[in-house]
Structure 1
Amino acid sequence: MRIGRPIDRVIQGMFRIANKQAVTVDFILNDVQYQYSVAATSRDIILKARREGFSSYIRGEFLGACLTEENTRAVILSQDTEATMKHLAAVKFYIKHMKGLQPQIGYNSRNEITFPKMDSTFYIGTAGSKTFGRGDTITHLHMSEAAFYDDLKGLQGSIMEAAAHAKRIVLESTANGYNFFQKMCQKARQHDGSYTLHFFPWYADESNYLPLFAGEQLPLLDEDIERMERHHLTMEQMKWYITKRADFMEHPNDVEGKLLFQQEYPTSIEEAFKSSGANFFRTIPYEALEPVDRQGHTFIYRPAIPGRRYVIGVDYSGGIGQDYGVVTALCTDPLEQVACYRDCWTEPEQLSYKAAELGRVYNMAYIVPEANNHGTLGVDVLKRIYPQSHIYKRDIPVRKGVNGPKKKTMLGYLTTEASKPYMCNALSLYLRRGLKIYDAEAYSELQVFMEDEGKLCAPEGMFDDCVMSMALAAVGIRKLIPELPKAPVISPPPPQGVIYPFDNAKDALDIVLNTRRGRELIKRFYMHPSSVLSEMSRLNYGRASKHPTAK
């Protein structure tokens, strides 16, 4: 018997359970249940893979509390009626197959069981009403598969008042895309608030393995080998993994099936919330790094190093809790995020002071503030407290004079639907060139940022303030360092399909303008045709004579 907390003695000493083979056995904590019991707190969020036994354990814990602690009011909420019935049936199974004397039961309905001797109640319901829980007092609350609730945020408002003084609150679920549950996980991961995040990947379940046959070689992908090395997995575990993955995929290139599998059986938190292939940023070099310093809403990931150049992007908000004001600091060499500030209650004036403060810390960094909307006041404040030579300037034509067109210099970057593609593509360029992201919230926003019918934005209900702040900083890097960073060195692919012979400049230009790849480079990245030609040549669109297989 493994004991993580005192309630484990009650669970294993009183209850029996039907195992995965449908055989009734004594309730003995499995490895995952024991790991959680040791780490459990009064306010927990559990992000997990499928079928790891958390619902069974929490049902046993809450029923044990009803039988041993007076005035217990235990509540389990599920995502739909079918799941509610399964929870209720499981609790009644525990009671029916209890070791020793049967408990005295008072009221026993389809949703509620009372234990009059202890004045305790066990309620199991469906999370379908925002008003559920008002007027009640809850001591133990389990929100099962919370990511699948229709309105988790609304339910939180109605039920948390009743559970304000609860001994235990547990939100447990597999991932379900980017929703309120994901935001709660992200907040708990950053130790912001009262909840503790517990993540249990598929390999935490000791039964997830398949034995190898003598001399068997597994068809591992490069990403499988990286996964295996990073998480110290065995070949037996990897055999289980690729076999299970094949059940989700209709064919080897089934991206949707693969993403669904990774959501159901994640290896990491990032993988659990990975979304579809329609995202704008395909490459995001993320490394989960703990801040070396945190002061309020400011996270310092790398201290300033004398001699290095830094760029700061400032995305303003109204400071009324509707969206976030964000300041992001990037280093130009090596390309990496070094600091960020994010808060929804910081007004434009205060955010300018914060940007100036970080700018002075990071070697008088070059600051690119948003110049429209709330940024109009922010830029006006910033120019009074920070050297204007270190603030981004743009030229705008005002009128045509005697000696030609005249221009007016303005501070800040004007973010519009027309200018957004440039700044977002600039950020995408640096991400592909290895710009390291350390902030979990920034990474979360990058993962879901998308192009929807020509509009660059976050999905409905999500934020993109960190993305915009980083994109502004990317514009600053482009202005400070016009040369493109070197692309990572990769082995060129073998020539396939048509090989383009470049006999003269005119032929090369024609190929650039009449090739899908060439048009894409010009349209998306504003590259000069000569630069496009170089890029295409690097990708093996070279002279036919260079390839012995060319005819």
Structure 2
Amino acid sequence: MAKTKQLTKQEKLQLIMDDFKLFAKNFIYIVDNNGDKINFLLNPQQQEFNDLLEKNRYMIISKSRQGGFSTYALGRALWQAIRFENSNILIVSYKQDSSMALFEKLKMMNRDLDQFREKYGTKVFPATKRDNRNELLLENGSRITCVVAGNKDVGRGSTYSMIHLSEFAFYQNQEKQLLSAEQALAKGTGKLVIETTSNGFNFYQKLFMSAWKGDSKYKAFFVPFYASLYKEQFRAEHDEAEEWFKANNKGNRLREKDLEPDEKILYEKGANLRFLMWRRYKLLDMTLQEFYQEYPSNPMESFISTGQSVFDQSKVLERLNYVSEPLPTNEVYNQLPDVLKPYINRGLYIYKLPKKGIRMFGGVDTASGSGGDYSTISIFDNEGEQILSFYHNKVAVYTFAQIVDAIGKWCNYAYLAIERNNLGLPLIERLRKDYEYLNLLKSKIFDQKGKKKLQLGWTTTNTTKSIMISDYKENFERGLISIHCKETLAQMQIFQEVDGKMNNKKGEGNHDDLIVAAALACQAMKQNKYYVDIA
């Protein structure tokens, strides 16, 4: 049997220099939680991220606190500067003190390389030519710069092989700063990494969720609070939490049979019992919403909206953990009217097939179809479970009327509450005249003579909107209805009351159309009428 060729010292060194994971393990030192200087051995999440970065130019990270990705970025920047001459690398932080702290850590890593410069020579480890407040320049022409994100465009006038935007969610003018950074990135080979904890609903939130859904050039990477890297990072806190738990539970640790429903979900996802004891310990001094923001288990938790939120965010997030996925296209295709088939799982999402003879109730909100607001439909059965949702922003009113008619009749001639404001009235007229749809909600109004009469549809005013949303909130939070549509729940995360007015949080791309449709469906259920016989 042939012997395996032994690598020479030079070959081994070259192998290490060519692989950042090996380079970090052998040549970079970091300070651990005990204040000891140790070799930088990438944790599993950093290794996973590193492998993704090798294949993707654009990366975006959402994480809990103290994830170690800023340290990773510094080490990676130093490796690239040493390994590839004339590299130009930019690290951006959101405030001066954090920028200085990052750069001091980088300079410490570089100073620790002096021993290897002596051992292997400056051809392998280029000497330091300049080391000042925010710039590290090496003899091979590579430069690493640390700056603070401000009003000036990031990277203007330069080209960079690597840009790392640290704590991006806290920048001012995020969209403008990112556009500037992308323009400064070297074509074809440059890499741009956005790394941050979340900071509510803003441009970063929309960018990350778009990447998370696969609708962006950015590759999303999320680190939950129970990731393996935190076993060591929070070991002291975990020990403290376990002692607290034992002291309050007759010396027993938390057991699987003792888990609360929300803890069972986390346990099934990978949170071990020590993490869950620590979670209970943290919740002694913070609300569940605060915990979600600081230590999320999924991206939606990290973006939780607090303060002026209309809906209880803990209940919204809990529901998100249990939602049913829409039925696959092949299960519903042959059962649907032809007009609906093009929209299956592309605007029309069916969570449960209608049962014969069961009354159903729906809400309808109409938009122009010009690409702005969405035309939406939400249908519930008589037990309050959501059967389907429809949302699309590029269907004209006349097409939407055909879709509403088809959905309504397919769902056992559902009793529909249609907002009659603006484009809702033409929709109602088409349903009655063109499609003879009879099962529509009627509202009581008074004419100028004081006589009471009925009109088709629901008229939304500040007063009636408050009633509608209040009823919907109660039905949802008391568990009288079950929402399966993730987009509806996402809109409920940003739905606020400001100065007595309830609406979605302002910002491009934010909508509340699905909330309106679901709330209208609750009004249909509240009236509990049916003008057609479905027996």
Q: Could you state the TM-score of these two structures normalised by the residue count of structure 1?
A: 0.73
Number of positions where the alignment pairs a residue of Structure 1 with one of Structure 2: 465
Deviation readout 1:264-320 (Å, 9 max, x if unpaired): 122343433334365322344333444444857415251433424444433334555
The secondary structure found in structure 1 opposite 2:438 is: helix
CA–CA separation in structure 2 for the residues paired with 1:33 and 1:216? 33
For residue 156 of structure 1, what is the aligned residue in structure 2? 178
2:278 is matched with which residue: 226, 234, 240? 240
Aligned to 1:93: 108
Q: Spell out the pairing of 1:460-475 with structure 2 (5 A cutoff).
A: 460-461=506-507, 462-475=510-523
For residues 502 and 425 of structure 2, the distance between their equivalents in structure 1, rounded to whole angstroms, comes to: 22
Distance 2:428 2:244 in 1: 69
User: What are the superposed Cα offsets for residues 243-276 of structure 1, whole Å, 9 maximum, x if unpaired?
Assistant: 4444xx3xxxx64xx5334321223434333343
Match of 1:439 among 485, 493, 497: 485
Tell me, in whole angstroms, the C-alpha distance in 1 between the residues paired with 2:451 and 2:214: 55
Contact map agreement 1:313 1:469 (CA 8 A) in 2: yes
Residues 378 and 514 of structure 2 are in contact (CA less than 8 Å); yes or no, is this contact kept in structure 1? no
Q: Name the SS for the 1:478 alignment partner.
A: helix
1:230 alignment partner in structure 2: 265
Q: CA deviation at 1:325?
A: 0.8
Assess if the C-alpha contact under 8 Å between 1:304 and 1:363 holds in 2.
Answer: no
Hey, what's the Cα distance between the residues in 2 that align with 1:408 and 1:237? Answer: 58
1:18 aligns with 2:31: yes
Pairing of 1:298-447 with structure 2 (within 5 A): 298-307=347-356, 308-319=358-369, 323-344=372-393, 348-356=397-405, 358-359=407-408, 362-383=411-432, 386-398=435-447, 400=449, 405=451, 407=453, 409-410=455-456, 412-431=457-476, 432-447=478-493
Moved more, 208-217 or 97-106: 208-217
For residue 486 of structure 1, what is the aligned residue in structure 2? none
**Alpha-carbon separation, structure 2, partners of 1:355 and 1:190:** 28
**CA shift at 1:33, angstroms?**
1.9
Q: Establish whether residue 143 from structure 1 lines up as the match of residue 165 from structure 2.
A: yes
- Of residues 168-177 and 376-385 in structure 1, the stretch that sits farther from structure 2 once superposed is 376-385
State the Cα distance separating 1:334 from its structure 2 match.
4.3
Query: Shift of the alpha carbon at 1:420?
Result: 0.3
Tell me the equivalent position of 1:186.
209
**Partners of 1:6 and 1:430 in 2: CA distance:** 56
Label 1:188 to 1:120 Cα distance change in 2 as closer, same or farther (>3 A): same
1:469 CA drift (Å): 2.2
Counterpart CA distance in 2 for 1:416 and 1:223 is 48
Q: Identity of paired residues, percent?
A: 25
Q: Deviations over 1:83-136 (max 9, x none)?
A: 11122222222221126224244554433334463x544332222136323454
1:171 maps to 2:217: no
In structure 1, what is the Cα distance between the partners aligned to 2:436 and 2:462? 29
The more displaced of 237-246 and 209-218 is 209-218
Q: 1:395 to 1:225 in 2, by over 3 A?
A: closer
The match for 1:522 is none
- Runs (4+) of structure 1 exceeding 6 A deviation are none
Output the CA distance in 2 between the equivalents of 1:12 and 1:446: 45
| Aligned equivalent of 1:30 | 43
- Give 3-state SS (helix, strand or coil) of 1:423's partner: helix
Q: Is the 8 A contact 1:310 1:329 kept in 2?
A: no
Alignment check: 8 A CA contact 2:347 2:392 kept: no
1:213 deviates by: 5.1
Matched, 1:273 2:288: no
Q: Is the 8 A contact 1:356 1:385 kept in 2?
A: no
Query: 1:376, 1:138 → 2: CA distance?
Result: 55
Contact 1:324 1:344 in 2 (8 A): yes
Out of 206, 210, 226, the position equivalent to 2:231 is 206
* Structure 1 match to 2:527: 479
Q: Give the SS at the match of 1:9.
A: helix
1:16–1:26 contact (8 Å) kept in structure 2: yes
Q: Quick check: 2:154–2:178 contact (8 Å CA) kept in 1?
A: no
Amino acid paired to 2:504 = A
Q: SS at 2:246's partner residue?
A: coil
Q: 1:265·1:272 contact (CA, 8 Å) conserved in 2?
A: yes
1:141 and 1:166 in contact (8 A); partners too: no
SS in 2 for 1:129: coil
Residue identity in the other structure for 2:196: S
Q: Which one has a larger percent helix, Structure 1 or Structure 2?
A: 2
Q: Determine if contact 1:130/1:154 at 8 Å carries over to the other structure.
A: no
Secondary structure of 1:389's counterpart equals coil
Q: CA deviation at 1:74?
A: 2.9
The Cα offsets for residues 36-61 of structure 1, whole Å up to 9 and x where unpaired, read as 33555623332211112111112222
Change in 2 beyond 3 A, CA 1:421/1:68 = same
* Alpha-carbon separation, structure 2, partners of 1:272 and 1:132: 26
Kindly indicate whether the alpha-carbon contact (under 8 Å) linking 2:163 and 2:192 is maintained by their aligned counterparts in 1: yes
Report deviation, 1:235: 4.1
For the residue of structure 2 that corresponds to 1:161, the secondary structure is helix
Q: In the alignment, residue 29 of structure 1 is paired with which amino acid?
A: L
SS of the residue 2:61 aligns to: strand
SS for the counterpart of 2:264 is helix
Contact 1:370 1:415 in 2 (8 A): yes
Matching residue's letter, 1:463:
H
Residue by residue over 1:342-368, the C-alpha shift from the partner in whole angstroms, topping out at 9 and shown as x without a partner, is 455555455445544544554544443
- Following superposition, the deviation at residue 376 of structure 1 comes to 4.2
- In structure 2, what is the equivalent of residue 60 of structure 1? 75
Gaps of 5+ in 2: 1-15, 118-124, 329-342, 531-535
**1:28 Cα deviation from its structure 2 partner:** 0.4
Partner of 1:549: none
Question: Quick one: which amino acid aligns to residue 304 of structure 1?
Answer: L
- Whole-angstrom CA distance in 2 between matches of 1:14 and 1:467: 54
Cα displacement string for residues 421-468 of structure 1 (whole angstroms, at most 9, x for unaligned residues) = 221123123312342223333212213423334322233435322211
Q: What is the alpha-carbon distance in structure 1 between the residues aligned to residue 245 and residue 464 of structure 2?
A: 58
